[in-house]
Amino acid sequence: MEASQMVDWRNIHEKRDHSLSTMPLAGLSSLYGLGVKIRASIYARMRKKELPGFVVSIGNLTAGGTGKTPAAAMIAEWALKEGYRPAILSRGYGSKHKGKILDVSDGQHLFATPTEAGDEPYLLAKKLEGVPVIISKARYDAGILAHQRYGTDFFILDDGFQHICLKRNLDLVLLDATSPFGNMRLLPRGPLREPVDHLQRADAFILTRTGHGTTLIMMNFLKKKFGGKPVFQSEHIPEKIVFPDLRKVYSADFVKGKRVVAFAGIAKPEAFKDTLAKLGAEPVLFQAYKDHHAFSPREVKQLVAAKNKLRADHLITTEKDWVRLEGVSPHTPDLAYLTIRFQIAGSESFFKMICERRGDLRCNSR
């Protein structure tokens, strides 16, 4: 699907008023909500499976990106430094692997392609040295394998809030501070994967993309509605500009004053465009694709042609998109990707919370 033909789900999920065009979606949302209610009722009566170690879940309430993948990377890197043996357990969204379980990496070597693993697990596996990444719809089975094969004692569930059949020690939910609940309606009429009241299951909240006027209001709302549970603020910090074909790396401010053709196939591509603008780049053309878009060589050539026609300095995308481009992109010296780092305000309090949950009050002083 070409970018110009994409359904604008972002606009639909923000729109609160009803119209003839949204009536079918509202009907489907009612059916979806009934399914969510039945599922929750069934799992409430079931005994949850337990893994042999500490389990932290990183999830969200809405469809679309809130920054779970970089948050999972941040926690994994911290756990590794603290002397734990972390592994990331992912459902492998977009994976083409037909088996029950797939080792994406053992922490040292990659065993799968982006197509086999899905772009997010592959990106995590590529970035995280010393942290195995395993995908399976049955996260318990993936965790047992990680424990037996790699000695894992610290399990990170990537996108785990809805995986309620598995017991966890800490349930973290990420919410986009700019639009935490959209129009407050369930999929597909709205962005909610389950009702807002289900956030009662969470142990703590992390607001992403903070720095906006609504952040304080949202923090107060969450604390009041959900019994004073901890609320943390976070940001996605631009880190490096990488030119993979040239094997050159620059700081993020390299793009300041540069004319760029930018593109992204992520849940909220406009966030990438805003990031480039804040870095001082001049996006002379911005192309948005659907989330997890599978790029073709033809599309890459079209983007290169646009860059040349507009006399832009560089062609730039996200690190997540580069994972899907790596195997199909022709030699393109001017193509770069931006890496980001997940940063929590008051990180000492955040990691202290994890230590206390784990019963290890000395871990921050190791």
The pLDDT confidence band at residue 129, using thresholds 50, 70 and 90, is very high
Assess if residue 349 is contained within a domain. no
Write the CA distances from 301 to 135, 251, 282, 306, 315, integer angstroms. 33, 27, 21, 9, 11
Q: Are residues 200 and 87 in the same domain?
A: yes
Mark whether 240 and 206 lie in a shared domain: no
The CATH number given to whatever domain includes residue 190 is: 3.40.50.300
On whether residue 127 sits in a domain, the answer given is: yes
The predicted model scores a pTM of 0.94
Give the whole-angstrom CA distance, residue 52 versus residue 62. 29
> Where a domain ends, among 229, 247, 276?
229
Q: What is the pLDDT of residues 204-216, one digit of tens each?
A: 999 998 865 568 8
Same domain for 253 and 197 = no
User: Quick one: pLDDT at residue 2?
Assistant: 45
Mark whether 64 and 181 lie in a shared domain. yes
Tokens of 256: 């300041």
pLDDT at 4: 42
**pLDDT tens profile 48-86:** 999 999 999 999 999 977 889 999 999 999 999 999 999
Shared-domain flag, residues 252 and 180: no
Kindly give the residue spans of alpha helices, DSSP state H, lying in the chain: 9-14, 23-44, 68-81, 114-117, 119-127, 139-150, 215-225, 269-278, 297-309, 319-325, 347-358
- pLDDT band per the 50, 70, 90 thresholds, residue 7: low
Segments forming the whole domain that contains residue 128: 54-229
Residues 6+ apart with CB under 8 A from 355: 361, 362, 363, 364
Domain boundary among 229, 252, 272: 229
Predicted pLDDT of residue 213: 58
Amino acid at 204: A
Clarify whether residues 190 and 317 are in a common domain: no
DSSP β-bridge partners for residue 250: 241
Does residue 190 sit within a domain? Answer: yes
Q: Are residues 73 and 216 in the same domain?
A: yes
Q: Does 364 fall in a domain?
A: no
- Answer for the pair 366, 82: CB distance below 8 angstroms, yes or no: yes
Q: Tell whether 196 and 153 lie within a shared domain.
A: yes
Reported as half-sphere exposure (CB side, CA atoms, 13 A), residue 84 has a value of: 28
Is the residue at 36 inside a domain? no
Are 193 and 334 in the same domain? no
Alpha-carbon distances, residue 316 vs 5, 28, 128, 242, 272 (angstroms): 22, 38, 23, 9, 10
